[in-house]
Structure 1
Amino acid sequence: MKLYSLFISLFILLSSFDTMADIPAIKGRVTDADTQAPLAGATLSIPELRISVVSNQNGEYHFPSLPSKGRFLIEVKFIGYKSVVQTINTTSLASVDFKLEKSVIEVQEVVVTGTLNSSMNTKNSTSVAVVNKADLLRLPSNNIVDAISRIPGVSQITTGAAISKPVIRGMSYNRVITLSDGVKQEGQQWGDEHGIEIDQYRADRVEVLRGAASLLYGSDAMGGVINIIDPLPPSEGEIKGEFLTNYATNNGLSGTSAMIEGNSNGFVWRGRGSYKNAFGYNTPDYRLPNSGFHETNLSSQIGFNKAWGYVHLDLSSFRQKLGLPEFERNESGQFILEPEEEGEEGTVMSPSLYKTRNLFTPLQDIRHYKAALNSYVLLGEGKLRSTIAFQNNQRRELEESETDPSLFFDLKTYSYDLKYYFKELNSWERVIGVSGAFQNNKNKAEELLVPDYDSYDLGAFAYTKKTWTNTTFNAGLRFDYRNIDGKQMEEEGEPKFSAFSNNFSNISGAIGFTHEINSTFNLKANIGSAFRAPNVAELSTDGIHEGTARYEKGNPNLDPERSIYADAAVSYHTSKMNIFLNAYNNYIHQYIYLRRLSDNEIIDDHEVYHYVQDNANLYGFEAGLTLHPVSLIHFENSFSLTRARNNSTKDNLPFTPAPVLRNELRFEPEFKNLQNTWFSIGLDNVFKQNHVDVLETPSPAYTLVNASFGTTVKLGSQTLQLSVSANNLFDKAYIDHLSRFKNDGFLNPGRNISFGLFVPLVLSGVK
């Protein structure tokens, strides 16, 4: 309670800060560039200030309250038109009109918000891919990582339908950071079957930074960043909401979410509740029992958007129960339950257990609570952005009893992040920042896998960016320090862990470059260094983790991973075609991985694997071609390839995604009484993965056929968005190389038909 009182006190203090005078409202009109007709319903936003407005029936808009001085990017969007981005100076500007041009091809998002400064993607050297709300609704998924795994260069390590770990360019676990509410998600992400504790329905857009981002985020951002972004608050005087629901035939997944939000004179608020439920998923050959899950999410936001900036307080609660299908099969392929007494034969599982929504052991019970205070305050001619957060992750693993956990990790994380933006000088942007976190992890069950520990992080950086007409240059330097103190512990009266204390520090840097050759041709390049400190499992784990089928032992003498990386990207865009090519090379010194040191080392009937280090090299590319010859046809193609080598042993690294070619042909006809209608057919061509670690087996190639349909129906002033999607349409039997069920021989899901309904609601204000 004391902690939450502190958050409320800080919130009140920041919300009372009102020293900046308002200026007259910036206003204007949004019209069609050819016909001069007003465009009603166009969205105008200033992402840096987290404010947005919508044009009325006459195409008119106004921002009622902005800072009295400053330069900000304003983005204007309207369906069927090319987005416009313009920098406005609030010191002198009072009115601006926007003329939008029709566009038959969807361009990649123009404004990127997940980097240090909101900027046009063409002027941002980082390779960023964006999935917006429409795409998240169009593509059926079990969780947020599943929803973004079709981005070129992004894949997922799965444990059934409920658990997905993001993989970016071959790197995962503690090498990829996930941000939500501006906060690094902390939930024991070192574990093989530990997913991400985030409500997928909250996301308005997801930005994926492909490539090292240690300069911005320090340790653990060696592979990239997934930034999950909530919607901007509504326009002043507006109350709106949404209701969405979906159902999937394969595992009976039923998901529902409702949200309501409002803005009254700059006081913004939002509340959301979501629930998902599924039973065991079906394969072409059998249904996998106990692979279902339940998930309940609650979240809220209150805050102020004023002339001096904004302050927002976000609270969220995530709770998920999921089954782990660890069963053997008899000669007839039937799943059998373990015998009650050793030596007895197992009994054939009852058919009623295959589709039950009641989970049984082994299972996981995960709870994640978070409070985040985000603020953006104008101080003189500079700006201060801050995030202060608390997270509590409780992970219970229940092997035999549904009430008495075998493993129980209770992790508390306190974090802060402060960035100060100096006044822009001769087109030079300058930012300095400091961030840190304190973690305390306790075991609350008899079985121990990692010890109790405390950790402390501290980082500081300086960054600068210079913008010319068609060229940008950026550079930065960062220092990081991490301390981890493991506690001495006993298990069942016997010594289990010895106390240890490790300190890691690093200096990293990066430079980036972009150049717009002309309005259609863009180049990007980056070179730099990155850093990752070993996690607690790599340093100290000692035991059998549920589902891994191996005994793992940590090494307290591990060194941090350090990398030298380079990447480059080229894109070509016209009104009817978009082409891109991204290439990267990442050399990692002291890469940490698991390896058997002796074939004869057996503990509790399990082979023993040790965390060791060698030098590694990850390289590859992503390519894409989108054609839109006429407004009716959209043809999208992408290809991704990653190679990951152990330079010391000359073997391949584990869990390297197979090359994949994706093709989608979408028809977008116009109907009199329907809007935004599409029909699509797609192919996912996954190639054979022969480049495997010595602990893995090759995976054969496979092709999946997908299809979908969607449209928007208008009933009076209310719109309804309907969709039907079929994944693995021909019920192909396959096992993905990154499935953790591969060693058990469990197939991936078969045919899945999903039905979706999305209802946006405007309860008062602009319609």
Structure 2
Amino acid sequence: MKLKLIISCFLLLFIQFTASAADFNTIKGKVIDAKTNETLIGAVVSIPELHVSVATNANGEFTFRSVPTKGRYVVQVQYLSYKTITQTIDFASTTPLVFAMQASVVEQHEVVITGTPITASSRNNSTSATVVTKDQLQSGATNLIDALTRVAPGVSQITTSQAISKPVIRGLSYNRVVTLSDGVKQQGQQFGDEHGIEIDQNQAERVEVLRGAASLMYGSDALGGVINIIDPASPAEGNIKGEVLSSYSTNSGLTNTSLMLAGNENGFVWRGRGTYQNAHGFKTPDGYLINSGFNQTDFNGMLGVNKAWGYSHLNFSYYKNNIGFFDAEPGDELYSNSTSRTLDYPRQDIRHYKLALNNNFIMGSNSLKLDLGFQKNQRRELENSPDPSLFFDLNTYSLDAKYYLHDFNGWRPVFGISASLGHSVNKGEEVLVPAYDEYSTGAFGYVKKTWDQNTFSAGLRFDYIQNKGKQLTLDGEEVFTGFDNKFSNVSGALGYTHIFNDVLSFKANAGSAFRAPNPAELGSNGVHEGTNRYEVGSGNLSPERSYQADATLEYGSGFVTGSFGIYENYIHNYIYASNNNNEQITVTEESTGLPRSFDVYRYGQVNANLYGFEGNLTLHPVSFLHFENTFSYTRAQNRSFDRPLPLIPAGVLHNSLRFEPKVKGVHDFYISAGIDNYFKQSRVDATFETPTAAYTLVNAGIGATFKLGAQPLKVYVSGNNLTNKRYYDALSRLRPGRYSQEDPTFGVWNPGRNITFGFYLPFGTNK
């Protein structure tokens, strides 16, 4: 089966190279100031569905060559200090395009969202979404998810040290949030508390955060939302572009350096990137946490063709992360003064290999998007030697196809199918999850109707999932009994948007979704060193069933922009692991021959209700002053036992004041100051969690852009937790009570003061 899939991938690529060259089209246009009619030089014009972009030349003109001869595509135009334009263009028209941009202190009131069934502007899309730009990702964060939590409402993170962050959207995490990269669902070992997303944080040109159930398009696992990581678009024909970025953070000595280069020669497109990160242990107000450093190496690239018939891109990546791991018993020394970058044991050695073939075939006014993927995820947990104690080796093959039909009186239908095969084996001395095979197939239909200022959408999806766990017997004792579980489900979704006027719009969604239990929840039986607990699964778990609704009101004028949304999500058969009745087990460790006690966490099910609100408010009293605020709150209840659900983020209010004065000889100069207010989280599962107190963090930053010839150089300094505040985050796995119920005071402070110095240099040609 592996050989057939690989051959099929190369055959598809070969077919595209040898396909008859359809008549190609050339799209030309100009970008001007709507008030003065002056041309705008350097405005970025992009066609997200075709993965191409170009900047306007000295005359404000742009040209796209070898694009489809017909069809309707969303075109986005962006320029600093101007309101972003998103417009659907009929490529059959030969009339040159003229985009008249309006000066505005708000550039991103309306942006394009690609991670939904049909690409559209955010105002015409019912899904609650936030687009995070590359500039916003450069905030001194230690990883991609850490950066998103600072700017995207409703997004939090479950952290283990500085290198591991799991995304949380509206209180849901683990296998309930899908991370999408290169059009393929990231498949690592999402079940684990201390398992991150394993993606280079520098590769994203932008990130779309889709809040709410997205199971219609992405199947099981998308109950909470989707994080869609979008790589840079290919440059126009005959051009190259690239970037160099680097930063240094004082708290852990984190160095982050990345180089990217991309080009387009007669429709042959390519891109390559290399990244290296290295950090010693992070510093808390009490000292450096022992063995909490990491080093990370990433290589990723793309080869492909962009032609009138569409595009075919082969993406490949290699990710390697070595992470020192916190390991102590109550009473042990936690901190030191050492800034050594040498990792001690225990530690993790994580490697992720990925191939993704992304295709978009234009068939007249219709199109077919086909994404094929292969991923190998290897997770080694090294206890006291280079020989791994735990070693998960997971291979995943995936297929996703969507067929888009042309408009019928404003109706836009889409049909899709998906399939995946996961094969996991254990190669370490110890075992936690049985070797397993996981099969999934799904099909959906979706339709969208636009009339006047209204948009209506509806869809249905069917999924079938089979999990087969392998039986295992060691020394005459059965460790895993094995299981063969089959799950199927029909999901549905409705969406509606209404644009009242240029500044006010409304969107709402309602629907059902489901998530099948993962193999860890079904079959775990062993010590999980990374979580310092003994985990026990249940082969009788039922699928989670979600019923969700949300509504959002959005406003955007020249001086005030903002949104406010509410949501509720009732989940039947919600799955999580808990330690009931202080259950413990004593295990003899093979490495030392000594007995050791662990808390026992068993997977079970309850009925849960999660609801809350989120939003943002930005005030622009004058063009050079921005007062930005985001807020979110989630309340989650275990309805079966009438107590709070565990691992729910505290309410948070992010406030930032940004001052952008005009300075001669300097571009985009800014000074910012921020206050983050995290509220008390007393709603915890008292059987294994402890409350966290409220705290306030003070942040600041300064930056500017200088010209090196025709190329811009951005330099910045950002400071986080400037007062060196002692605090425990509600979702930190190192906080009191998470590692030892015997000693609830045993815990590790979150990182203290951190100042990041960095630069970003984009470069390229614009022929």
8 Å contact from structure 2 (residues 70, 364) kept in 1: no
For residue 687 of structure 1, the aligned residue among 679, 693, 708 is 679
Matched residue, 1:657: 649
Matched residue, 1:12: 14
**Matched position secondary structure for 1:65:** strand
For residues 329 and 679 of structure 1, what CA distance do their matches in structure 2 show?
44
Matched residue, 2:574: 591
Q: CA deviation at 1:19?
A: 4.8
Q: CA deviation at 1:237?
A: 0.6
Alpha carbons of structure 1 residues 603 and 506: separation in structure 2 relative to 1, 3 Å: farther
The 5 A counterparts of 1:597-676 are 597-599=580-582, 602-604=585-587, 605-676=597-668
Query: Residue 750 of structure 1 aligns to which amino acid in structure 2?
Result: G
Q: Which runs of 5+ in 1 are unaligned?
A: 337-348
Query: Residue 31 of structure 2 aligns to which amino acid in structure 1?
Result: V
Q: CA deviation at 1:51?
A: 1.5
Query: Residue 223 of structure 2 aligns to which amino acid in structure 1?
Result: M
CA deviation profile, 1:57-115 (whole Å, cap 9, x unmatched) = 01111112221111111111111111112221122233111111100124345211111
Matched residue, 2:455: 472
8 Å contact from structure 1 (residues 18, 308) kept in 2: no
Matched residue, 2:592: none
For residue 453 of structure 1, the aligned residue among 422, 425, 436 is 436
The 5 A counterparts of 1:214-363 are 214-328=215-329, 334-335=333-334, 354-363=338-347
Matched residue, 2:732: 739
Q: CA deviation at 1:7?
A: 3.3
Alpha carbons of structure 1 residues 237 and 290: separation in structure 2 relative to 1, 3 Å: same
Query: Residue 754 of structure 1 aligns to which amino acid in structure 2?
Result: T
Matched residue, 1:436: 419
**Matched position secondary structure for 2:66:** coil
Matched residue, 1:340: none
For residue 388 of structure 1, the aligned residue among 358, 372, 390 is 372
TM-score (norm 2): 0.95
For residues 758 and 20 of structure 2, what CA distance do their matches in structure 1 show?
44
**Identity over the aligned pairs, expressed in percent?**
54
For residues 9 and 735 of structure 1, what CA distance do their matches in structure 2 show?
53
Q: CA deviation at 1:598?
A: 4.3
Matched residue, 1:343: none
**Matched position secondary structure for 1:738:** coil
Aligned-residue CA RMSD in angstroms? 1.5
For residues 447 and 549 of structure 1, what CA distance do their matches in structure 2 show?
14
8 Å contact from structure 1 (residues 564, 588) kept in 2: yes
Aligned length: 745
8 Å contact from structure 1 (residues 446, 492) kept in 2: no
Matched residue, 1:702: 695
The 5 A counterparts of 1:14-53 are 14-23=16-25, 25-53=26-54
CA deviation profile, 1:508-552 (whole Å, cap 9, x unmatched) = 000000000111110000000010000111100011211323221
8 Å contact from structure 2 (residues 413, 447) kept in 1: yes
Structure 2 residue 360 is the aligned partner of structure 1 residue 376? yes
8 Å contact from structure 2 (residues 86, 110) kept in 1: no
Matched residue, 2:591: none
- Please identify, of 40-49 and 459-468, the stretch whose mean Cα deviation from structure 2 is larger: 40-49
8 Å contact from structure 2 (residues 249, 255) kept in 1: yes
The 5 A counterparts of 1:407-422 are 407-422=390-405
Matched residue, 2:389: 406
**Matched position secondary structure for 1:36:** coil
For residues 365 and 102 of structure 1, what CA distance do their matches in structure 2 show?
50
Matched residue, 1:573: 556
Matched residue, 1:724: 717
**Matched position secondary structure for 2:146:** helix
For residues 393 and 577 of structure 1, what CA distance do their matches in structure 2 show?
46
Matched residue, 2:590: none
For residues 583 and 543 of structure 2, what CA distance do their matches in structure 1 show?
29
Matched residue, 2:537: 554
Q: Which runs of 5+ in 2 are unaligned?
A: 588-596, 739-745
CA deviation profile, 1:122-147 (whole Å, cap 9, x unmatched) = 0000000110111112x111111111
Query: Residue 555 of structure 2 aligns to which amino acid in structure 1?
Result: Y
For residues 210 and 765 of structure 1, what CA distance do their matches in structure 2 show?
37
**Matched position secondary structure for 1:657:** coil
Query: Residue 394 of structure 1 aligns to which amino acid in structure 2?
Result: Q
TM-score (norm 1): 0.95
Matched residue, 2:522: 539
**Matched position secondary structure for 2:614:** strand
CA deviation profile, 1:601-621 (whole Å, cap 9, x unmatched) = 534322322111111000000
For residues 283 and 161 of structure 1, what CA distance do their matches in structure 2 show?
11
Matched residue, 1:211: 212
Matched residue, 2:141: 141
Matched residue, 1:341: none
For residues 749 and 391 of structure 2, what CA distance do their matches in structure 1 show?
30
For residues 75 and 133 of structure 1, what CA distance do their matches in structure 2 show?
17
For residues 468 and 165 of structure 1, what CA distance do their matches in structure 2 show?
40
For residues 194 and 548 of structure 2, what CA distance do their matches in structure 1 show?
29
For residue 512 of structure 1, the aligned residue among 488, 495, 502 is 495
**Matched position secondary structure for 1:699:** coil
CA deviation profile, 1:684-711 (whole Å, cap 9, x unmatched) = 0000001111221110000000000110
